[in-house]
Amino acid sequence: MRYDAVFNVSGSGLKAQMLRMEVVSSNIANVNATRTPEGGPYRRREVVFETVPVQNGFENALLHSTAASLKGVEVSRVTEDASPFLRKYEPNHPDAGPDGYVLYPNVNIVAEMVNLQEASRAYEANLSVITSVKSMIAKTFEIGR
Amino acid sequence: MKILDWRQVDLLERGLNISTQRNALIASNVANVDTPGYKSQDLAFTQVLDGETNRLALRRTDPRHLPAETGAGAGNEVVESTAPARADGNNVNIEDEMIKLSQNTMDYNISVQLLAKRLNSLKSVVTSPK
């Protein structure tokens, strides 16, 4: 029996959640960014998760008949949130429009914090799967003792 | 008890294989906890068990004797959970998965311990009379 499938799957979960946290941190960091290289204020970004089949060799497919059902996860793309920007009346701001309103990013800091918590919990869940597999492997060595 | 009866060892080995497979499926479920449309997967145990209990039933000299319980067989049918899905089509419940994980690790440890004991008793039979 091979264990590397579990490490691949849970490892992909760790990577995907970490990328999600990176995107969230980018949103939080740019909560007040009114200027971007593309012009206009920063747009909130979101990750899209997608399942990926685990990379298994021929040997693994033979030994491990459930291998075909195993799915890793990856961030297939990072999308931009199309919701409208926040408008604040700040006539003295250099980026204010002719009407005195400044467009601020469509980032809701509370929603981002919740997202961050969710990502970090999911990260921990993947980590505890890895920990338990490690303990199982360690336990296996007791068979011959 | 026949000391060279390997059926028990075979059974325990299959138990270990099943626990490992199940563990991989739990890992897959946890990794995809936020993937839209993903359905939680597990091994179908009960059907496998039914088939195996007949085959591995303990021989009874009297029908009034209690039947022995046998362990899980070598089934590996993967089934998707039919639990109600969230708005994104995903029905992974992280609490359930964590419970299954610790349950499964425990099952695995039990099998390992029984296997080690079985092999140890065999060893003591082979080595004790000097």
Kindly give, in sequence order, each residue whose CB lies less than 8 Å from that of residue B70, ignoring residues fewer than 6 positions away.
Answer: B11, B49, B52, B53, B56, B57, B58
Cα dihedral B35, B39, B40, B41 sign:
negative
Task: Return the pLDDT at B129.
Answer: 73
A129: nearest CA in chain B? Answer: B27
The residue-averaged pLDDT of A9-36 equals: 94
B99's tokens: 């419970």
A123 CB within 8 Å of a chain B CB: no
Instruction: Find the CB nearest A125 among B28, B36, B94.
Output: B94
What is the distance between the alpha carbons of residues A25 and A42, in angstroms, rounded to a whole number? 13
Q: What percent of chain B has pLDDT over 90?
A: 34
Asked if A10 and A70 count as a contact pair (C-beta separation under 8 A), the reply is no
Residue among A54, A72, A56 nearest A16 (CA): A72
Preferred mutation among A9, A79, A142 to probe B, highest tally of B CBs within 10 A = A9
What is the distance between the alpha carbons of residues B46 and B57, in angstroms, rounded to a whole number? 16
The residue-averaged pLDDT of B28-39 equals: 92
ipTM, two decimals, is 0.77
Chain A residue numbers touching B109 (CB-CB < 8 A): 136, 139
- Site of tokens 């497979």: B21
Residue among A86, A93, A92, A90 nearest A109 (CA): A86
The residue-averaged pLDDT of B97-113 equals: 93
If you ran DSSP here, which 8-state letter would residue B80 be given? E
A56 CB within 8 Å of a chain B CB: no
Q: Per-residue confidence at B6, pLDDT binned at 50, 70, 90? A: confident
Q: Per-residue confidence at B73, pLDDT binned at 50, 70, 90? A: very low
Name the packing angle between helices A109-140 and B7-31 (round to 10°): 160
Decide: pTM greater than 0.80.
no
Q: Tell me: the pLDDT tens digits for A80-120?
A: 999 999 999 999 999 998 999 999 999 999 999 999 999 99
CB contact under 8 A, A49 and B28: no
Instruction: Look at residue B47 and tell me whether its pLDDT is greater than 70.
Output: no
A145: nearest CA in chain B? Answer: B116
Instruction: Find the CB nearest A49 among B35, B101, B119.
Output: B35
A35 CB within 8 Å of a chain B CB: no
CB contact under 8 A, A71 and B112: no
